[in-house]
Amino acid sequence: MKNKGKIFGVIGLGRFGFHVAKTLAQARVEVIACDSDEEKVRRVADFVSHAFVLDATDEKALKESGIVSADTVIVSIGENIEASILIVVQLKELGIKEVIAKAATPMHGKILEKLGVDRVIYPERDMAIRLAHSLLIGEFIEEIPIGEKHSIFEIKAFEFMHRKTLKELDLRRRYDVSVLAIKRGESMLVNPSGEEQIMPGDILVVLGTTEKLSELYEKKP
C-alpha cells in the first residue's frame, strides 16, 4: 500500500472529518482524530488508532495528542474560521509535512493558502460541481480536476462509440478530448493507439473540459 506507515491526523470530526477519518482508518493506516466534542470523538474512537477530546487551538494539547508526528493533518473546522486559521498556523509552526484544510468561503480559502496550506478543500462546492458535471455528461463516473478548466474524467463509452476505432472517432480534433486509457474488465490499456476499437462496457479515461465533454455527449457524432 502506497501510504502504509504514514500517520494521518484529522482535526474536527463533523460529517466531513468523520468520513475522512473513517475512510483512512478502513485503509489500515494510523489515524489520530481530535475534536472538542466528546460525542464526536466517541463516534470515531472504535475505528481510528487514537481519538482525543481536546481544544486544537491549544498548542500544548496538540503536542500531547501526538498529532505533531503525523505526516498529513486534515483540518476539518471550516465553520469556525478563526479556530481553523489558528490551528493551521500552529500546525505549520510545529513542522507538519502536509496540511490540508477545509474552507468555508473563498476568502477563508485564500487566507489558508497564504498561510501555506498544501491543499484547500471546499466540500460542498466540489460536490455541487461533481453533481452538475454528472448531470451534464452522460455515463459520468469520476472526475479529477487538474487545472482551472481541465479535468481527467472516467466515463462509460457512449453507445455511438462502440466498435469504432479511436482514429474513426477522432475525438481530439473534433472535440479537444484526449483518450488517455481504456479500462476493459480487469485490464487497463494506457495510451491506446488510433487503431484501438472501443467495445461495449469499456470505460474511457479522458482529458478535457466539461464543456467539450457535454458537447460530445449532446452531439453524438
- The whole-model pTM stands at 0.65
Fold of 126-219: Alpha-Beta Plaits (3.30.70)
Per CATH, the homologous superfamily of domain 7-121 is NAD(P)-binding Rossmann-like Domain (3.40.50.720)
Which pLDDT tens digit goes with each residue over 27-61? 889 999 999 999 999 999 999 999 999 999 999 99
Sequence spans of domains, the chain: 7-121, 126-219
CB 21 within 8 A of CB 44: yes
| Mean pLDDT, rounded, of the chain | 88
Long-range contacts of 123-130 (CB under 8 A, 24+ apart): 123/16, 123/78
pLDDT attached to residue 147: 63
Mean pLDDT of 190-210: 92
> Could you report the per-residue pLDDT of 114-149, keeping only the tens digit for each?
999 999 988 877 767 666 766 666 666 777 776 667
Residue 221 has pLDDT above 60, yes or no: no
